[in-house]
Amino acid sequence: MTKLQIRSRCFLLALLVSAQAGCLLFGVAWATGWLWDTYQFVVNDYVSSAGRAEAHELAIEVKALGVTTSEPGTQDWQKLQQLCEITNIPNDGVLCIMRRDNGALLCHPDLKADPGLLRLFPGKSLLTNDETSGPITQLVREAESQRLPVVNGKVELYGQLHTFTGFSMPSINAILGVYQSNVSIASFAASTIRPVMQIGYILVAFIVGATAMITIFLLNRYEDGLADSNSKLEEQVTERTQSLVRTRNAVTFGLARLAEFRDIATGKHLERIRSYVSILATEMARTNPEIAPGFVADLAAASSLHDIGKVGIPDAILLKPDQLKPSERKAIEMHTTFGKECLSAIRKQLGNDDFLEVAEQIAATHHEHWDGSGYPQGLQGKEIPLTGRIVALADVYDALTSDRPYKKAVSHEAAREWIVTRYAQQFDPAVVEAFVAREDDFRRICHSKRDTRTKAAQKTNPVSDSCEFDSAVLAVTR
């Protein structure tokens, strides 16, 4: 079942106002219908009562005229005809007189204009009321048997429905009939109900407008309150997130520092690596949409764990001041595998985490070369994750410009020349270009965060301005 999605404030407001308007209009329509039916019933009842009263008064008037016969052409008939002509019946009605025995028309207001009306038999028309139905003459005789001189109901005249009231006058063999047009009656009822309906719809419009304004006001107040609550909640979430990130970074750095604590020569290596990586990633982000600000922060923090696998390397190999033997080189290369396995195990325990994924990539691939000559897998080009390509250059630059048990530090210029000559060989061209673009920042960090060296070390291993050194030693860093 599809649920209604309300994502727009305007849609919500329109939905509320429409619902209110629909309910009110339905209520007005129902109330109007009920009022119409009730009022129509009252009007019809009033018309019937008025018709009976009118017929009774006319019957009295006929008796007052001293009429003894209704036969056409007689003087009494002329009196009856004149009475029909001068009598005004409400609701576009007419007064007619018909024979009691066969229902033939005797008198009609339009008889002079249309003598052919005498050929009509309105007394044979079907009269219908709530109790019975039948020809007028028949119902009149039935009423007489019950000593009721009056009959009423609905009857058709000239193709239109009329309310009919008949008064029996057996003494002159006539039925005095009062006809009132139902169309006129309905028009009268409508003229009374229509203003009520109009007032109702005006009230609906007013109420809908008022409720819309109130809804907008309340909605604005609610949204303002919700915005304040969300803002405070976002601040709390941001503070807690930042606190967790600071804690994570501190623990990460402490763990990485503990891993390198055995190597007294590394000094501020981790701090410099983080700075170098942050500079490279920020520079590359200007042209690489793959690099987002959050990625830069995670990459800088995770870079501290690039050599976490060295905890599994024996001190005799890790701290050896001389060039490593092939077997020792194989052993020290295992630190990438150890680091990957360690971080992978942590990630499995914690579940998917972007930071740990980045750290695992770095630990596994920061010794891979662009041309495929690196280790442990010999990945080539973009097979190497971007994280590993960035940390690879930062790690080599720091190794070149720092003292190690197996080599002395070189100058920034020498390190720069060594790295640039390995463009698209050992290093990703894009990373080298970012390094060249920000080399002044590298030089500044290299000098400001240089390891503290003893005077003896400074005399023994002065910083070299030459890039002529043993390439075999520097081909890969430990």
Please give the chain's pLDDT, 478 residues, in tens.
556 666 677 777 778 778 878 887 788 778 778 877 887 788 888 888 888 899 899 989 999 999 999 999 899 999 999 999 999 999 889 999 999 999 999 999 999 999 998 899 999 999 998 888 899 999 999 998 888 889 999 998 878 899 999 999 999 999 999 999 988 888 887 787 788 778 877 887 888 788 878 878 887 888 888 888 888 888 888 777 676 666 666 666 666 666 566 554 455 888 899 999 999 999 999 998 878 888 898 899 899 889 888 888 888 888 787 888 889 899 989 999 999 998 888 888 887 788 889 999 999 999 999 999 999 999 999 999 999 999 999 999 999 998 877 778 999 999 999 999 999 999 999 999 999 999 999 999 999 988 664 444 444 444 445 444 444 444 446 6
Distance CA 390, CA 373 (A): 17
Task: Find the distance separating the first CA and the last CA of the chain, reported in whole Å.
Answer: 61
**Is 422 within the bounds of a domain?**
yes
Residues 433 and 305 in one domain: yes
Distance CA 310, CA 21 (A): 74
**Is 368 within the bounds of a domain?**
yes
Q: Strand, helix or coil at 82?
A: helix
Residues 273 and 145 in one domain: no
Residue ending a domain, choose from 170, 189, 208:
189
**Is 77 within the bounds of a domain?**
yes
Residues 249 and 181 in one domain: no
Helix axes 354-365, 386-400, angle to 10 degrees: 50
Q: Strand, helix or coil at 96?
A: strand
What pLDDT shows up at residue 380?
96
**Is 357 within the bounds of a domain?**
yes
64-89 pLDDT, tens digit per residue, is 999 999 999 899 999 999 999 999 99
Strands (E), 183-234: none
CATH no. for residue 31?
Answer: 3.30.450.20
Residues 173 and 246 in one domain: no
For the chain, the 3-state helix, strand and coil shares in percent, each to the nearest 5, are 65, 10, 25
Contacts of 200 (CB under 8 A, 6+ apart): 28, 31, 32
Residues 172 and 251 in one domain: no
Q: Which domain holds residue 305?
A: 241-474
**Is 254 within the bounds of a domain?**
yes
What pLDDT shows up at residue 472?
41
Q: Exposure pattern of 423-460 as b/e (b: 16+ CB <10 Å)?
A: beebbbebbbbbbeebbebbbebbeeebeebeeeeeee
Residues 331 and 399 in one domain: yes
What pLDDT shows up at residue 39?
78
Residues 247 and 155 in one domain: no
CATH no. for residue 298?
Answer: 1.10.3210.10
Residue ending a domain, choose from 146, 162, 189:
189
Residues 161 and 273 in one domain: no
**Is 356 within the bounds of a domain?**
yes
**Considering its fold, how many domains does the chain have in total?**
2
Residues 245 and 179 in one domain: no
What pLDDT shows up at residue 461?
47
Contacts of 140 (CB under 8 A, 6+ apart): 100, 151, 166, 168, 175
**Is 290 within the bounds of a domain?**
yes
**Is 211 within the bounds of a domain?**
no
Residues 269 and 180 in one domain: no
